[in-house]
Structure 1
Amino acid sequence: MKDSDGVPPNRFHLTDDELIAGLATGSELALTQLYKRYFPMVLYFVQSNSGTEDDAKDIYQEALVTVYEKLSAGTLELTAQLKTYLYSVCRRLWLKQLTQRSRTGTFGFGVDLNDTEEFLSVETDLVDHEDRDRQFELMTDSLTRLGEPCRTLLEDFYVRHLSMQEITDKFGYTNADNAKTQKYKCLMRLKRFFFSVYKAEP
Protein backbone atom coordinates (compact mmCIF):
# COMPACT_ATOMS: atom_id res chain seq x y z
CA MET A 1 0.00 0.00 0.00
CA LYS A 2 1.25 3.46 -0.89
CA ASP A 3 0.12 6.96 -0.02
CA SER A 4 -0.97 9.62 -2.52
CA ASP A 5 2.67 10.53 -3.14
CA GLY A 6 3.49 6.99 -4.25
CA VAL A 7 5.61 6.39 -1.16
CA PRO A 8 4.91 3.56 1.31
CA PRO A 9 3.58 5.00 4.61
CA ASN A 10 5.48 4.61 7.86
CA ARG A 11 8.71 3.68 6.09
CA PHE A 12 11.78 4.82 7.99
CA HIS A 13 14.31 4.24 5.21
CA LEU A 14 13.23 4.68 1.60
CA THR A 15 15.10 3.09 -1.29
CA ASP A 16 16.67 5.17 -4.06
CA ASP A 17 13.75 4.36 -6.37
CA GLU A 18 11.25 5.43 -3.70
CA LEU A 19 13.16 8.64 -3.04
CA ILE A 20 13.17 9.48 -6.74
CA ALA A 21 9.46 8.67 -7.06
CA GLY A 22 8.74 10.80 -4.00
CA LEU A 23 10.80 13.69 -5.35
CA ALA A 24 8.84 13.56 -8.59
CA THR A 25 5.53 13.84 -6.72
CA GLY A 26 6.70 16.28 -4.03
CA SER A 27 6.47 13.74 -1.20
CA GLU A 28 7.31 15.40 2.13
CA LEU A 29 8.67 12.11 3.47
CA ALA A 30 11.01 11.70 0.50
CA LEU A 31 12.25 15.30 0.74
CA THR A 32 12.84 14.95 4.49
CA GLN A 33 14.90 11.81 3.98
CA LEU A 34 16.82 13.33 1.09
CA TYR A 35 17.92 16.19 3.33
CA LYS A 36 18.60 14.06 6.38
CA ARG A 37 20.63 11.44 4.55
CA TYR A 38 22.54 13.34 1.88
CA PHE A 39 22.74 17.04 2.83
CA PRO A 40 25.48 16.54 5.49
CA MET A 41 27.99 15.29 2.91
CA VAL A 42 27.27 18.32 0.70
CA LEU A 43 27.55 20.67 3.67
CA TYR A 44 30.96 19.21 4.55
CA PHE A 45 32.19 19.54 0.98
CA VAL A 46 31.04 23.15 0.55
CA GLN A 47 32.36 24.28 3.94
CA SER A 48 35.67 22.57 3.19
CA ASN A 49 35.91 24.55 -0.04
CA SER A 50 35.37 28.20 0.92
CA GLY A 51 31.59 28.03 1.41
CA THR A 52 29.04 28.51 4.17
CA GLU A 53 26.07 26.50 5.39
CA ASP A 54 23.74 28.81 3.46
CA ASP A 55 25.82 28.19 0.32
CA ALA A 56 25.46 24.45 0.87
CA LYS A 57 21.69 24.74 1.30
CA ASP A 58 21.40 26.75 -1.92
CA ILE A 59 23.55 24.27 -3.84
CA TYR A 60 21.63 21.27 -2.50
CA GLN A 61 18.29 22.86 -3.36
CA GLU A 62 19.55 23.60 -6.87
CA ALA A 63 20.70 19.99 -7.25
CA LEU A 64 17.29 18.65 -6.21
CA VAL A 65 15.63 20.99 -8.69
CA THR A 66 17.98 19.70 -11.38
CA VAL A 67 17.02 16.10 -10.57
CA TYR A 68 13.32 17.04 -10.54
CA GLU A 69 13.57 18.74 -13.92
CA LYS A 70 15.35 15.72 -15.41
CA LEU A 71 12.67 13.46 -13.96
CA SER A 72 9.93 15.61 -15.48
CA ALA A 73 11.66 15.60 -18.85
CA GLY A 74 12.31 11.85 -18.67
CA THR A 75 16.06 12.37 -19.11
CA LEU A 76 17.32 11.22 -15.71
CA GLU A 77 19.78 8.36 -16.12
CA LEU A 78 21.30 7.05 -12.89
CA THR A 79 24.47 5.07 -13.51
CA ALA A 80 25.37 5.09 -9.80
CA GLN A 81 23.68 5.38 -6.41
CA LEU A 82 21.45 8.40 -5.88
CA LYS A 83 23.84 9.60 -3.17
CA THR A 84 26.75 9.57 -5.61
CA TYR A 85 24.71 11.30 -8.30
CA LEU A 86 23.53 14.10 -5.97
CA TYR A 87 27.03 14.61 -4.61
CA SER A 88 28.40 14.81 -8.14
CA VAL A 89 25.81 17.42 -9.15
CA CYS A 90 26.41 19.51 -6.00
CA ARG A 91 30.18 19.26 -6.44
CA ARG A 92 29.98 20.47 -10.04
CA LEU A 93 27.57 23.30 -9.15
CA TRP A 94 29.75 24.53 -6.28
CA LEU A 95 32.99 24.46 -8.26
CA LYS A 96 31.23 26.40 -11.01
CA GLN A 97 30.07 28.97 -8.46
CA LEU A 98 33.58 29.23 -6.99
CA THR A 99 34.91 29.97 -10.45
CA GLN A 100 32.27 32.67 -11.01
CA ARG A 101 32.96 34.27 -7.62
CA SER A 102 36.67 34.29 -8.32
CA ARG A 103 36.13 36.05 -11.64
CA THR A 104 33.79 38.66 -10.18
CA GLY A 105 35.96 39.23 -7.12
CA THR A 106 33.17 38.49 -4.65
CA PHE A 107 35.56 36.61 -2.39
CA GLY A 108 37.17 38.67 0.33
CA PHE A 109 40.21 36.40 0.16
CA GLY A 110 42.23 34.54 -2.41
CA VAL A 111 40.82 31.30 -3.78
CA ASP A 112 43.14 29.10 -5.78
CA LEU A 113 41.03 27.41 -8.44
CA ASN A 114 43.96 26.03 -10.39
CA ASP A 115 43.66 22.80 -8.45
CA THR A 116 40.04 22.08 -9.33
CA GLU A 117 41.14 19.48 -11.87
CA GLU A 118 42.97 17.68 -9.09
CA PHE A 119 39.92 17.23 -6.86
CA LEU A 120 39.43 13.65 -5.74
CA SER A 121 36.87 11.60 -7.63
CA VAL A 122 33.32 11.70 -6.33
CA GLU A 123 33.49 8.10 -5.15
CA THR A 124 36.76 8.72 -3.29
CA ASP A 125 35.33 11.88 -1.72
CA LEU A 126 32.34 9.94 -0.45
CA VAL A 127 34.45 7.11 0.95
CA ASP A 128 36.63 9.63 2.80
CA HIS A 129 33.57 11.42 4.18
CA GLU A 130 31.97 8.19 5.39
CA ASP A 131 35.27 7.04 6.92
CA ARG A 132 35.53 10.29 8.91
CA ASP A 133 31.96 9.86 10.12
CA ARG A 134 32.70 6.31 11.21
CA GLN A 135 35.86 7.36 13.01
CA PHE A 136 33.90 10.03 14.90
CA GLU A 137 31.27 7.46 15.92
CA LEU A 138 33.94 5.03 17.09
CA MET A 139 35.74 7.74 19.07
CA THR A 140 32.49 8.76 20.78
CA ASP A 141 31.78 5.12 21.62
CA SER A 142 35.35 4.65 22.88
CA LEU A 143 35.00 7.67 25.18
CA THR A 144 31.81 6.17 26.61
CA ARG A 145 33.53 2.84 27.22
CA LEU A 146 36.49 4.62 28.81
CA GLY A 147 34.47 5.57 31.87
CA GLU A 148 35.28 8.04 34.61
CA PRO A 149 37.41 9.89 35.54
CA CYS A 150 39.28 9.40 32.24
CA ARG A 151 36.42 10.55 30.03
CA THR A 152 35.90 13.84 31.86
CA LEU A 153 39.64 14.41 32.21
CA LEU A 154 40.24 14.08 28.46
CA GLU A 155 37.18 16.19 27.61
CA ASP A 156 38.34 18.86 30.06
CA PHE A 157 41.74 19.02 28.39
CA TYR A 158 40.92 18.54 24.68
CA VAL A 159 37.37 19.92 24.45
CA ARG A 160 37.03 22.44 27.28
CA HIS A 161 40.74 23.43 27.06
CA LEU A 162 41.36 23.45 30.80
CA SER A 163 44.97 23.86 31.86
CA MET A 164 46.81 21.03 33.62
CA GLN A 165 46.75 23.10 36.82
CA GLU A 166 42.97 23.49 36.57
CA ILE A 167 42.64 19.72 36.02
CA THR A 168 44.98 19.09 38.98
CA ASP A 169 42.77 21.21 41.23
CA LYS A 170 39.53 19.75 39.88
CA PHE A 171 40.52 16.10 40.30
CA GLY A 172 42.61 16.55 43.44
CA TYR A 173 45.93 15.37 42.04
CA THR A 174 49.09 16.10 44.04
CA ASN A 175 50.61 18.21 41.27
CA ALA A 176 50.41 18.96 37.54
CA ASP A 177 52.94 16.24 36.70
CA ASN A 178 50.70 13.60 38.26
CA ALA A 179 47.77 15.00 36.29
CA LYS A 180 49.80 14.77 33.07
CA THR A 181 50.70 11.15 33.84
CA GLN A 182 47.04 10.30 34.39
CA LYS A 183 46.06 12.10 31.18
CA TYR A 184 48.64 10.08 29.26
CA LYS A 185 47.35 6.79 30.71
CA CYS A 186 43.78 7.74 29.86
CA LEU A 187 44.77 8.68 26.31
CA MET A 188 46.54 5.35 25.81
CA ARG A 189 43.45 3.49 27.03
CA LEU A 190 41.24 5.51 24.68
CA LYS A 191 43.50 4.68 21.72
CA ARG A 192 43.40 0.98 22.59
CA PHE A 193 39.60 1.04 22.72
CA PHE A 194 39.38 2.92 19.43
CA PHE A 195 41.86 0.88 17.40
CA SER A 196 40.63 -2.45 18.76
CA VAL A 197 37.40 -1.77 16.85
CA TYR A 198 38.69 0.37 13.96
CA LYS A 199 41.42 -2.08 12.89
CA ALA A 200 39.01 -5.00 13.18
CA GLU A 201 36.58 -3.48 10.68
CA PRO A 202 36.86 -4.59 7.03
Structure 2
Amino acid sequence: MRNHEDQWLEEIYRNLLPQVARMVHRMNGNLEMAKDVFQDAVIIYLEKQRQQTLPANVPAQAYIMGIARICCIRKMKQTGRYTSLENINSDISVPADYYALPPVERSVLNYVKAAGKRCLQLLQAFYYDHLSIQEIAAGFDFKTPHSASVQKYKCLEKVREQIKQSDYAETVS
Protein backbone atom coordinates (compact mmCIF):
# COMPACT_ATOMS: atom_id res chain seq x y z
CA MET A 1 0.00 0.00 0.00
CA ARG A 2 2.79 2.41 0.91
CA ASN A 3 4.56 1.72 -2.39
CA HIS A 4 1.40 2.65 -4.32
CA GLU A 5 1.15 5.97 -2.47
CA ASP A 6 4.81 6.71 -3.17
CA GLN A 7 4.30 6.05 -6.88
CA TRP A 8 1.22 8.30 -6.89
CA LEU A 9 3.14 11.12 -5.19
CA GLU A 10 6.05 10.70 -7.59
CA GLU A 11 3.69 10.92 -10.55
CA ILE A 12 1.96 13.99 -9.11
CA TYR A 13 5.32 15.71 -8.58
CA ARG A 14 6.53 14.79 -12.06
CA ASN A 15 3.35 15.95 -13.81
CA LEU A 16 2.11 18.86 -11.73
CA LEU A 17 5.19 20.63 -10.40
CA PRO A 18 6.12 21.99 -13.86
CA GLN A 19 2.52 23.19 -14.38
CA VAL A 20 2.47 24.90 -10.99
CA ALA A 21 5.87 26.45 -11.70
CA ARG A 22 4.56 27.91 -14.98
CA MET A 23 1.46 29.26 -13.25
CA VAL A 24 3.55 30.85 -10.46
CA HIS A 25 5.95 32.29 -13.04
CA ARG A 26 3.01 33.90 -14.91
CA MET A 27 2.03 35.49 -11.61
CA ASN A 28 5.59 36.88 -11.24
CA GLY A 29 6.77 34.28 -8.75
CA ASN A 30 10.00 32.28 -8.73
CA LEU A 31 10.88 28.58 -8.58
CA GLU A 32 11.22 28.53 -4.78
CA MET A 33 7.76 30.00 -4.40
CA ALA A 34 6.43 27.43 -6.88
CA LYS A 35 7.91 24.57 -4.85
CA ASP A 36 6.44 25.96 -1.61
CA VAL A 37 3.03 26.49 -3.19
CA PHE A 38 3.06 23.03 -4.72
CA GLN A 39 4.01 21.30 -1.46
CA ASP A 40 1.33 23.24 0.42
CA ALA A 41 -1.25 22.22 -2.18
CA VAL A 42 -0.29 18.54 -2.00
CA ILE A 43 -0.42 18.57 1.80
CA ILE A 44 -3.84 20.23 1.79
CA TYR A 45 -5.07 17.66 -0.76
CA LEU A 46 -3.77 14.73 1.32
CA GLU A 47 -5.37 16.13 4.50
CA LYS A 48 -8.71 16.51 2.75
CA GLN A 49 -8.36 13.01 1.34
CA ARG A 50 -7.76 11.58 4.84
CA GLN A 51 -10.75 13.51 6.19
CA GLN A 52 -12.79 12.35 3.19
CA THR A 53 -13.93 15.89 2.42
CA LEU A 54 -12.83 15.99 -1.23
CA PRO A 55 -15.52 16.92 -3.75
CA ALA A 56 -16.77 14.02 -5.84
CA ASN A 57 -15.79 13.65 -9.49
CA VAL A 58 -12.88 16.12 -9.34
CA PRO A 59 -9.56 14.71 -10.55
CA ALA A 60 -6.69 15.00 -8.08
CA GLN A 61 -4.56 16.98 -10.52
CA ALA A 62 -7.27 19.59 -11.12
CA TYR A 63 -7.93 19.93 -7.40
CA ILE A 64 -4.24 20.34 -6.57
CA MET A 65 -3.84 22.95 -9.33
CA GLY A 66 -6.79 24.90 -7.90
CA ILE A 67 -5.36 24.77 -4.40
CA ALA A 68 -1.95 25.82 -5.75
CA ARG A 69 -3.50 28.83 -7.49
CA ILE A 70 -5.18 29.95 -4.26
CA CYS A 71 -1.98 29.40 -2.26
CA CYS A 72 0.02 31.38 -4.81
CA ILE A 73 -2.37 34.34 -4.62
CA ARG A 74 -2.18 34.29 -0.83
CA LYS A 75 1.63 34.20 -0.91
CA MET A 76 1.70 37.09 -3.36
CA LYS A 77 -0.45 39.12 -0.97
CA GLN A 78 1.83 38.30 1.95
CA THR A 79 5.05 39.16 0.13
CA GLY A 80 3.67 42.40 -1.26
CA ARG A 81 3.95 41.34 -4.90
CA TYR A 82 0.19 41.42 -5.19
CA THR A 83 -1.60 44.73 -5.77
CA SER A 84 -5.19 44.87 -4.61
CA LEU A 85 -7.73 46.64 -6.78
CA GLU A 86 -8.48 49.14 -4.02
CA ASN A 87 -4.94 50.48 -4.20
CA ILE A 88 -4.58 50.44 -7.96
CA ASN A 89 -5.82 54.03 -8.42
CA SER A 90 -3.03 55.38 -6.24
CA ASP A 91 -0.43 53.22 -8.01
CA ILE A 92 -1.44 53.96 -11.58
CA SER A 93 -2.46 57.36 -12.84
CA VAL A 94 -4.57 57.97 -15.93
CA PRO A 95 -3.28 60.75 -18.20
CA ALA A 96 -5.44 63.87 -18.23
CA ASP A 97 -6.03 63.69 -21.98
CA TYR A 98 -6.96 59.99 -21.95
CA TYR A 99 -10.69 60.61 -22.31
CA ALA A 100 -10.40 63.40 -24.88
CA LEU A 101 -11.66 62.56 -28.34
CA PRO A 102 -8.96 62.13 -30.94
CA PRO A 103 -8.82 64.89 -33.56
CA VAL A 104 -10.15 62.58 -36.27
CA GLU A 105 -13.42 61.95 -34.41
CA ARG A 106 -13.94 65.66 -33.85
CA SER A 107 -13.59 66.35 -37.56
CA VAL A 108 -16.14 63.67 -38.52
CA LEU A 109 -18.80 65.84 -36.91
CA ASN A 110 -17.69 68.66 -39.18
CA TYR A 111 -18.20 66.40 -42.21
CA VAL A 112 -21.70 65.50 -41.01
CA LYS A 113 -22.52 69.18 -40.47
CA ALA A 114 -21.24 69.96 -43.96
CA ALA A 115 -23.65 67.40 -45.41
CA GLY A 116 -26.50 69.69 -44.39
CA LYS A 117 -28.77 70.44 -41.48
CA ARG A 118 -31.39 67.90 -42.51
CA CYS A 119 -28.76 65.14 -42.83
CA LEU A 120 -27.34 66.05 -39.45
CA GLN A 121 -30.78 65.84 -37.85
CA LEU A 122 -31.66 62.58 -39.65
CA LEU A 123 -28.40 60.86 -38.68
CA GLN A 124 -28.65 62.16 -35.13
CA ALA A 125 -32.19 60.82 -34.82
CA PHE A 126 -31.12 57.40 -36.06
CA TYR A 127 -27.72 56.92 -34.40
CA TYR A 128 -27.92 58.98 -31.22
CA ASP A 129 -31.62 59.13 -30.42
CA HIS A 130 -32.05 55.49 -31.54
CA LEU A 131 -35.32 56.21 -33.35
CA SER A 132 -36.63 53.57 -35.72
CA ILE A 133 -36.96 54.26 -39.43
CA GLN A 134 -40.76 54.38 -38.97
CA GLU A 135 -40.43 57.06 -36.29
CA ILE A 136 -37.99 59.01 -38.45
CA ALA A 137 -40.34 58.77 -41.46
CA ALA A 138 -43.19 60.20 -39.39
CA GLY A 139 -41.08 62.87 -37.70
CA PHE A 140 -39.40 64.10 -40.89
CA ASP A 141 -42.57 63.89 -43.05
CA PHE A 142 -41.35 61.16 -45.40
CA LYS A 143 -44.10 59.33 -47.30
CA THR A 144 -42.78 55.86 -46.44
CA PRO A 145 -40.18 54.33 -44.13
CA HIS A 146 -38.31 53.18 -47.25
CA SER A 147 -37.84 56.78 -48.42
CA ALA A 148 -36.49 57.69 -44.96
CA SER A 149 -34.04 54.79 -45.20
CA VAL A 150 -32.94 55.88 -48.67
CA GLN A 151 -32.41 59.46 -47.44
CA LYS A 152 -30.34 58.20 -44.51
CA TYR A 153 -28.20 56.23 -46.95
CA LYS A 154 -27.74 59.30 -49.16
CA CYS A 155 -26.67 61.35 -46.14
CA LEU A 156 -24.08 58.74 -45.19
CA GLU A 157 -22.80 58.70 -48.77
CA LYS A 158 -22.42 62.51 -48.69
CA VAL A 159 -20.32 62.23 -45.54
CA ARG A 160 -18.23 59.38 -46.98
CA GLU A 161 -17.61 61.34 -50.18
CA GLN A 162 -16.47 64.41 -48.26
CA ILE A 163 -14.09 62.32 -46.18
CA LYS A 164 -12.64 60.72 -49.31
CA GLN A 165 -12.02 64.13 -50.85
CA SER A 166 -10.40 65.56 -47.76
CA ASP A 167 -6.85 65.32 -46.51
CA TYR A 168 -8.07 62.72 -44.01
CA ALA A 169 -8.24 60.07 -46.71
CA GLU A 170 -4.61 60.75 -47.61
CA THR A 171 -3.41 60.42 -44.03
CA VAL A 172 -5.31 57.16 -43.46
CA SER A 173 -4.06 55.45 -46.63
Q: Same fold (TM over 0.5)?
A: no
Q: Which TM-score bucket, shorter chain as reference?
A: 0.3 to 0.5
TM-score relative to the length of structure 1: 0.39
TM-score relative to the length of structure 2: 0.45
Structure with larger Rg:
2
